Structure 1
């Protein structure tokens, strides 16, 4: 029945960490139990008699061997093979049973306390073996106990039947302890196996979902690229076709439209490539204040046409470990995005501060907040609510941030206060001096 409920399982401590933990617990428990029993034997010498020299020597030898085994276990650097683990476990069980019988004999008393030492090998077998070997270890412990009672009364008659009854009661306790622990351990082991199987299935499901998501993303990307390219190509085609039928200024106007759409197509494909094949960053210690100042100067002329100012501020000693060119590109994309949503006559705030071993750069503008339904989509490629642009600016900026080990998030979305936060790794190095 037990075999049907709890199928055969291999030794539990199959990995190094589990073996070291289990073996250390058993050795430490055995040493503590041995020390306690010898101490009690000495404390109640009036009942059991004083521990003899052979008993003390045997207990001390076992204690030293246990300490050496504990040190050996802690220094193990590779897991044992299953056969070696089984041999070690059986050797430990047999030695502990033999030590218990030896100390029983050296006590020379019908009520020796050292029979408790047999509990350790029983528990060890229950933890690591199948039911049949566990019952075998319990049987050896029980027979050893009865043998000691029989042997004692062979030397010191007459026989006391009550001692056999006590030995039987102790044997029954050994059986219960071994079987109950075995059942509990096997139940935990089965639950662990089920959890491992569930985790494996979850990993497989996750892999399938990721694969499907990648395929879906490729489909969306292809569709978006085709849609974005189709419009300028269509405009170029229609403009050239119309120009063939016209002359003079009207023909030149059609060619100008075709030229503008071709330029837009070049810019669009450049952004596509920047998103699809981002360059690996080459981080160097970079002054954040200098970077913000450069970006503000580069964008100031463009945003000033809309009546918008740029205010940049950062601590002079704040240094980031980044690729300057890529970070400048990300910040320019953020400022252009902020300028599109800013109110005329307002200012775009560009500031930086240290944040938990990172540099946090914030780009803030006034204007209407981003609609709640659009917030989850703003970093998606090709998503845009503007009549112009490809919708790749924020996606490229976030890719740059993540390539540096940071991130880009929408940290504020309130009326008249829209804020994006770009986190980048801080640098402990000094900014290299520029060559003259």
Structure 2
């Protein structure tokens, strides 16, 4: 056996490897750029939502015109200029990590051009009041930026394409939710199936750095405020179990609906019409979302961030059946074909389910049940229980409820598994169907 190196020798060898330090500098710089881009995207998305709210304040019927028009315009632009930007963005990143996707095909799913398109098209959907989130799109946006680093990497660098995609995608979650730990867990649970051992520390550093950029921009406050819940006791056991099962069923049905709607294989009249006239179908979906938004006094419009914060802070009541209406609005928005994430709407739906269960029990343990509903529905819809638990814990500063949140996420996940296959993995399989059948069919790389 070789004798261990001395500390002086180890330091000299570490500092002498210029390729290693160049790779580290490039990844760190790209992580900062990715974090700043997601911060800018957040500002643009919130500004777009603000303009829609101002339009709705001018006339209650304005969404009946604006929302269908926005949905149709966004779908037309997506199909015409950036087909790879449709949907959440997470399935595209997962598809890019598959072995059958080569260098020339990667631009179909992740590229700088698609990142720019994703920012503009998702913001356009929020400008029309569609029920969508920006967190899933942030994954594809940050991954596209991070992937550009490979152009400048020296040969033999310790970080490959897989590592850059994992770091970028997870950095998008960390920066979008202001939850660095959630980003790390998302990388482990959803993206990093075979992470590169030598670069795992650098990947995690990039994720955390992007999250810190978001913290610098938005402050270190919890995303949805602080949930004021007492230490959970036995009196929360049965309500919590009931809520976990209900959230698991709702999340499983939601996931199954999305898979059936987006597969393109359904034979129902709506799916056939969607295949023939996608832009007109999107306008019809926008009209349906507008009607739902008007019925709920505007609560079902947008990402659901405001409604969730109201419930978490106990600052107001939601319209009756808000959970059902938000569920339908989010499903219809995704079905329309616009670039749309589901994380934030899922949290709003889960919070509303928890709120309804608490009201059913005469207001008992309302703050705790709202937090459990958020983690339960998100875990069930995404089938990523660890990511859901950590994201919700960080967003509501719910460290006193760690075990309860973990248990709820696990129960809801197990219930959802019996109802639906994994959402993102299944949608990633649909993305792979876009691969050309022969080299002659390959498009020129959009990068």
- TM-score normalised by the chain length of structure 2: 0.20
Task: Identify the structure with bigger relative contact order (alpha carbons < 8 Å, sequence gap 6+).
Answer: 2
Q: Looking at secondary structure, tell me which structure has more strand per residue.
A: 1
Larger Rg: 1
TM (norm. structure 1) is 0.21
